[in-house]
Structure 1
């Protein structure tokens, strides 16, 4: 993969994290109720933004 394509993917991931994940109410609430692990599991398996980030990650490898 070209370096410019990798940089573009990283930029997209960073944008998603800053736009949607920073201060996410759902993550914060799940973290309070069920702990960090529960909140993280939700982000990976059920959150649409988390799934999009995973797609970008697969493209990087």
Structure 2
């Protein structure tokens, strides 16, 4: 993968995280009620933003 393409993908990932994940009310609630692992599992398996982040991760590998 070209360095410029990698840099663009990382920029998109950072943008998504800043826009949707930082300060996510649902993540905070799940973390408080069910613990950090449950909140993380939700983000990875059920959150649409988490699914998009996974797609970007597959492209980076």
TM over 0.5: yes
Q: Point out where structure 2 has 5 or more consecutive residues left out of the alignment.
A: none
Equivalent residue number for residue 27 of structure 2: 27
How many residue pairs were aligned?
Answer: 61
Q: Give the alignment of 1:1-61 within 5 angstroms.
A: 1-61=1-61
TM-score (norm 2): 0.99
Moved over 6 A (4+): none
2 CA distance for matches of 1:12 and 1:46?
20
Offset from partner CA, 1:27-52 (integer Å, 9 cap, x none): 00000000000000000000000000
Q: Point out where structure 1 has 5 or more consecutive residues left out of the alignment.
A: none
Aligned-residue Cα RMSD (Å) equals 0.3
2 CA distance for matches of 1:31 and 1:52?
21
